[in-house]
Structure 1
Amino acid sequence: MAQTGAVEEGNLAEVIATKENKASETGGKRKHEGDEPERSGRAKKKRGGGGKKLRPGERYVPPPQKRNPGVSFNKEHFDETSYYFEGGLRKVRPYFFDFKGYCKGRWIGKTLLEVFKSEFRAESIDYYQSAVKEGRIRLNEAPVEDLTSVTLRNNDLMRNTVHRHEPPVVGTPIEVLVDDGEVLVVDKPASIPVHPCGRFRHNTVIFILGKERGISGLHTIHRLDRLTSGVLLFARTLEMSKKLDQLVRDRKLEKEYVCRVDGEFPEGELVCEEPILVVSFKVGLCRVDPKGKECRTVFQRLSYNGSTSVVRCLPLTGRTHQIRVHLQYLGFPILNDPIYRSSAWGPHRGKGGLVGKSDEEVLKALVEEHRSKESLHLLDIPEDGLCGASKKSNAQGQQDIKFGSSNSLLNEVSQDTSSTEIDPTANLNSGLPTESQCVVPTELHQNQKGATKSQHTSQGTRDHLCSECKLVRPDPTEKELVMYLHALRYKGPDFEYSTRLPDWAKEDWSEVE
């Protein structure tokens, strides 16, 4: 279901870089010209943070860095790694990646060992101790020598370098439908997220457009779920972004979807107005609930082939998974929906809101079902997803993180209908650290151990500490990566963008076993 997005990019990188270069040049010039004696014979004493004298044994913590939300993803980010295509899939070569995050309030006074033990369980303590020896864990940019030797303080900046593996997506090219300098409209293939989130960074629409077409500085107007295909709008300018965003807020942007559902959908127009509640931020799991937000979706059957129906969907509101949840409630879930057609909802599969289980029981059953099928990737959660920390917010409204986990949770929940800026140092609705940068630390090349154990291959780097490098995962099938839900048309007062009808939505289509 398309969600009014919480993402947008500015393009101030060049301006900032120019200012920094000028400042650097000016500073250098003064240094060489400066032959005059100092006006004051007194040299300022170096003190700790905030001008305070450090007590004996006290550790200096630098002030937090100012974030610049206007800097967009650029070529430096796009060049972090590369793609290759295999078996109809787009694959990202594994790469080293730096996760950065500031010390959380609940970590203050604890050692790194205590924090890793309690919150970062994606890897073992042995792994983190080995990472320390390799120089991959840093505190305030200094290598950590021992996990037990440092007690965390407020504003401590933690950096963890990991070997990152991204899941494959379909190899279908992203087709540009319109690019007129103000609006960019694409036909998004299923399985590709709109922007970096969770385990995805380079296998996203934003990065693919940047890497393959040199396009950056896009303003995202709405979102599509990762498994959903179809019309996706971006604004090229801030002015157009504000204009389109206002249309979304005023509900003047008409959206039309098509889907294929189980069974014989009723003829005629069918309206569902059941409120929808988000019950799990880890999976983006939702259900009909009186405490939920008001919703309205209009459905109309287009065809029926004897076992499944193609249905036209007009969501008049923009809630998370709105079309999928309403179809489940009506008893006609999308044919290959990995969440809302699951048997985890009980014998009625959630029809009429009949579940008979608590939200926690549904979530657990859903995870167990996909774990047994080795298809947890369809839920976008890692193997240890249920034991990780739940989504919370700190004072700055940023999400708590699984610091440095290569299996960070993907949260496809968007609760904001406004269009805001994409921050390349922040990962929206994803559980990733608030600041991240792709860096291969110097130690990995200069340190004797790192230099001998980090290998470069035709399919990317291999890392002796990386658990993913030791696994051989079967590739997902195209059937698993394509959900039968497609954004067919978006229409405003003076524009209309549409795509071709997917093959699975055609009247003569039949499912291949």
Structure 2
Amino acid sequence: MAEPGPALSGAEEEQPAPGDKEEAAPAPKKRRLAAGERYVPPPRKLSTGVSFGPEHFAETAYYFEGGLRKVRPYYFDFRTYCKGRWVGRSLLDVFSTEFRAQPLAYYRAAARAGRLRLNEEPVSDLDIVLKNNDFLRNTVHRHEPPVTAQPIQILVENDEVVVVDKPSSLPVHPCGRFRHNTVIFILGKEHKLKELHTIHRLDRMTSGVLMFAKTVEVSKRIDEQIRERQLEKEYVCRVVGEFPEHEVVCEEPILVVSYKVGVCRVDPKGKSCKTVFQRLSYNGKTSVVRCLPRTGRTHQIRVHLQYLGHPIVNDPIYNMEAWGPGRGKGGKINKTDEELLKALVEEHRSKQSLDILGVSEEDLNSNAENNDCGNSSDRTKSVQADPTNENSRPAEDTKDPKSNDTAACLLTSDPNLGALGKNKELGSCENQDGKTGDKSWEEKDPLCVECKRRRRDPSPRELVMFLHALRYKGAQFEYCSKMPQWALEDWEE
């Protein structure tokens, strides 16, 4: 009996038999364009998964000053595909109606400087009519608000998860005006921890335990526990006044007042929720309270404490005079939602603290969608919303770190921009290699109003809110942080 011959390799098995014709995939037919019709390339396939890498981390650098972590200004591309409602409208019309943070003179100057591109071609005429699948790119000189210089402490790192103690003032991932001053970027740049998957999120001003999964499989497993409500969270905070000694349960429904500013209130039309509170200590002025959220509504802990008449001592939203003499106790506000938002903004504007509120003048002036952290297009996969987070929508994992759903510059307007851009090279941000420059902090940008503006830096104390995620427990894990200094019994105000 003959021995079997050597097995064929996979490549050999795939070869067609002699005389057979290998069928190639039919090439897509390119439609003949009508006279004067503009060709629009098909959409590109976006990368999947979390993919921030060295090229993103190298966009700029950190420096530290006055107890703050600061980011050197840098050039950045905001990218988006044409929205359905933009089709058939001119680029000028879209800028004038949906991106009003800048005057039209800015966009004209930016076009002359080569910063506006349509399907990777420089825009020379803002009257060009947009078509489906048009790809827009706007290069801006980007400035980020400062955050605390307090380092991120890594509590646990293994093959499945990374658990950190997040300082107050740091967003979890890129959103709004923040990109490098975020937990994701700092972990990548300073701890070489990349491709992390967000499991849950904490409010920018909330400190404490924060988990990331290292793989998609781990992320899905914990997501399932979240959906089944198998996770337990414990927070600690310091509130105004003498909180009752007995256990307090608040089940008032919560309604979102503003997605952009990130404000909620108790309202019968809101979503049902439940928080359990227990006082830990009282020093004669303020109380330390344990908080156990049973649901995950936006700002749940903060709104319920305000309703009970014991807002967090330094809450930049729910312990402000804008809510009236009672600071919103019992849901009594005596203002319409519009009046409340206006009062909150004006109070922070008078203190030059809009950055602490989490918005800028540009956000307030612009109709551009997705300017707030809860809906940044740097993220596309939903994860659980945290009951303390500052936005009314769930946080999401990053899918395409180079993209952003905002096609307009997020800088303030300047009446002198009409004189800029007459020279086509003026304000060009490309170096000899045609790439965005990595030395942009060494000189001021002629189109950037932020370069001319002097902002008051917040003090490190202003960047702390007395709300801390103390413990996060699941079916097979439990992670805790140390009690913050302001929650200790011997802490002095």
| TM-score bracket for this pair, using the shorter chain length | 0.7 to 0.9
After superposition, residues 95-110 of structure 1 pair within 5 angstroms as: 95-110=74-89
Amino acid at match of 1:367: V
Give the whole-Å Cα distance in 2 for the aligned partners of 1:473 and 1:91: 13
Which residue of 63, 66, 88 corresponds with 1:84?
Answer: 63
Q: Is 1:280 the counterpart of 2:262 in the alignment? A: no
Q: Is 1:51 the counterpart of 2:30 in the alignment? A: yes
Give the whole-Å Cα distance in 1 for the aligned partners of 2:377 and 2:229: 32
Q: Is 1:386 the counterpart of 2:364 in the alignment? A: yes
**In structure 2, what is the equivalent of residue 266 of structure 1?**
244
Greater displacement, 283-292 / 228-237:
283-292
Normalising by structure 2, we get a TM-score of 0.83
Greater displacement, 182-191 / 241-250:
241-250
CA shift for structure 1 position 456:
8.1
SS at match of 1:369: helix
Give the whole-Å Cα distance in 2 for the aligned partners of 1:390 and 1:144: 20
Conservation of the 8 A alpha-carbon contact between 1:93 and 1:461: no
**In structure 1, what is the equivalent of residue 426 of structure 2?**
449
Conservation of the 8 A alpha-carbon contact between 1:301 and 1:312: yes
**In structure 1, what is the equivalent of residue 415 of structure 2?**
none
Question: How much is the aligned-residue C-alpha RMSD, in angstroms?
Answer: 2.8
| Number of residue pairs the alignment of both structures matches | 437
Q: Is 1:424 the counterpart of 2:371 in the alignment? A: no
**In structure 1, what is the equivalent of residue 17 of structure 2?**
none
The alignment-based identity, stated in percent, is: 64
CA shift for structure 1 position 219:
1.5
Give the whole-Å Cα distance in 1 for the aligned partners of 2:441 and 2:365: 32
Give the whole-Å Cα distance in 2 for the aligned partners of 1:458 and 1:162: 11
After superposition, residues 286-435 of structure 1 pair within 5 angstroms as: 286-389=264-367, 391=369, 412-416=390-394, 422-425=399-402, 432=406
**In structure 1, what is the equivalent of residue 4 of structure 2?**
none
**Kindly tell me: are residues 380 and 285 of structure 1, through their superposed partners in 2, closer, same or farther at Cα, counting changes over 3 Å?**
same
**In structure 1, what is the equivalent of residue 24 of structure 2?**
none
**Kindly tell me: are residues 432 and 260 of structure 1, through their superposed partners in 2, closer, same or farther at Cα, counting changes over 3 Å?**
farther
**In structure 1, what is the equivalent of residue 205 of structure 2?**
227
Give the whole-Å Cα distance in 1 for the aligned partners of 2:365 and 2:182: 27
Greater displacement, 270-279 / 114-123:
114-123
**Kindly tell me: are residues 458 and 387 of structure 1, through their superposed partners in 2, closer, same or farther at Cα, counting changes over 3 Å?**
closer
Which residue of 459, 473, 496 corresponds with 2:455?
Answer: 473
Conservation of the 8 A alpha-carbon contact between 1:112 and 1:151: yes
**In structure 2, what is the equivalent of residue 22 of structure 1?**
none
**In structure 2, what is the equivalent of residue 64 of structure 1?**
43
Q: Is 1:118 the counterpart of 2:97 in the alignment? A: yes
Amino acid at match of 1:144: V
Q: 1:28-65 deviations in whole A, cap 9, x for unaligned?
A: xxxxxxxxxxxxxxxxxx9xx96222111111111222
**Kindly tell me: are residues 141 and 482 of structure 1, through their superposed partners in 2, closer, same or farther at Cα, counting changes over 3 Å?**
same
Give the whole-Å Cα distance in 2 for the aligned partners of 1:399 and 1:487: 24
Q: 1:111-162 deviations in whole A, cap 9, x for unaligned?
A: 22222222212222222111111111111111111223x1222221111100
Conservation of the 8 A alpha-carbon contact between 2:78 and 2:403: no
Q: 1:378-422 deviations in whole A, cap 9, x for unaligned?
A: 2222214334227589xxxx8799xxxxxxxxx9425348x7664
**Kindly tell me: are residues 129 and 309 of structure 1, through their superposed partners in 2, closer, same or farther at Cα, counting changes over 3 Å?**
same
Conservation of the 8 A alpha-carbon contact between 1:453 and 1:464: no
Give the whole-Å Cα distance in 1 for the aligned partners of 2:29 and 2:92: 28
Conservation of the 8 A alpha-carbon contact between 2:266 and 2:331: yes
Which residue of 184, 207, 216 corresponds with 2:185?
Answer: 207
Give the whole-Å Cα distance in 1 for the aligned partners of 2:192 and 2:250: 42
**Kindly tell me: are residues 346 and 241 of structure 1, through their superposed partners in 2, closer, same or farther at Cα, counting changes over 3 Å?**
same
**Kindly tell me: are residues 219 and 400 of structure 1, through their superposed partners in 2, closer, same or farther at Cα, counting changes over 3 Å?**
closer
Which residue of 230, 255, 264 corresponds with 1:252?
Answer: 230
**Kindly tell me: are residues 290 and 425 of structure 1, through their superposed partners in 2, closer, same or farther at Cα, counting changes over 3 Å?**
farther
Give the whole-Å Cα distance in 2 for the aligned partners of 1:373 and 1:462: 27
Q: Return 5+ residue gaps in structure 2 as ranges.
A: 1-26, 379-388, 409-420, 432-436
After superposition, residues 152-191 of structure 1 pair within 5 angstroms as: 152-191=130-169
Conservation of the 8 A alpha-carbon contact between 2:238 and 2:286: yes
Conservation of the 8 A alpha-carbon contact between 2:97 and 2:367: no
CA shift for structure 1 position 176:
0.4
SS at match of 2:361: coil
**In structure 2, what is the equivalent of residue 40 of structure 1?**
none
Conservation of the 8 A alpha-carbon contact between 2:75 and 2:440: no
Give the whole-Å Cα distance in 1 for the aligned partners of 2:370 and 2:177: 19
**In structure 2, what is the equivalent of residue 509 of structure 1?**
491
Q: Is 1:73 the counterpart of 2:52 in the alignment? A: yes
**In structure 1, what is the equivalent of residue 470 of structure 2?**
488
**In structure 2, what is the equivalent of residue 129 of structure 1?**
108
**In structure 2, what is the equivalent of residue 440 of structure 1?**
none
**Kindly tell me: are residues 372 and 233 of structure 1, through their superposed partners in 2, closer, same or farther at Cα, counting changes over 3 Å?**
same
**Kindly tell me: are residues 387 and 475 of structure 1, through their superposed partners in 2, closer, same or farther at Cα, counting changes over 3 Å?**
closer
Amino acid at match of 1:504: W
**In structure 2, what is the equivalent of residue 28 of structure 1?**
none
Give the whole-Å Cα distance in 2 for the aligned partners of 1:459 and 1:110: 36
**Kindly tell me: are residues 478 and 359 of structure 1, through their superposed partners in 2, closer, same or farther at Cα, counting changes over 3 Å?**
same
Give the whole-Å Cα distance in 2 for the aligned partners of 1:332 and 1:277: 19
Conservation of the 8 A alpha-carbon contact between 2:75 and 2:429: no
Q: 1:231-289 deviations in whole A, cap 9, x for unaligned?
A: 00111122221222122222221111111111111111111111111121102211111
Normalising by structure 1, we get a TM-score of 0.79
SS at match of 2:448: coil
Q: Is 1:463 the counterpart of 2:440 in the alignment? A: no
**In structure 1, what is the equivalent of residue 119 of structure 2?**
140
**Kindly tell me: are residues 351 and 180 of structure 1, through their superposed partners in 2, closer, same or farther at Cα, counting changes over 3 Å?**
same
Amino acid at match of 2:47: N
**Kindly tell me: are residues 452 and 382 of structure 1, through their superposed partners in 2, closer, same or farther at Cα, counting changes over 3 Å?**
closer
CA shift for structure 1 position 298:
0.7
Which residue of 220, 241, 252 corresponds with 2:219?
Answer: 241
Give the whole-Å Cα distance in 2 for the aligned partners of 1:159 and 1:421: 19
**Kindly tell me: are residues 117 and 335 of structure 1, through their superposed partners in 2, closer, same or farther at Cα, counting changes over 3 Å?**
same
SS at match of 2:233: strand
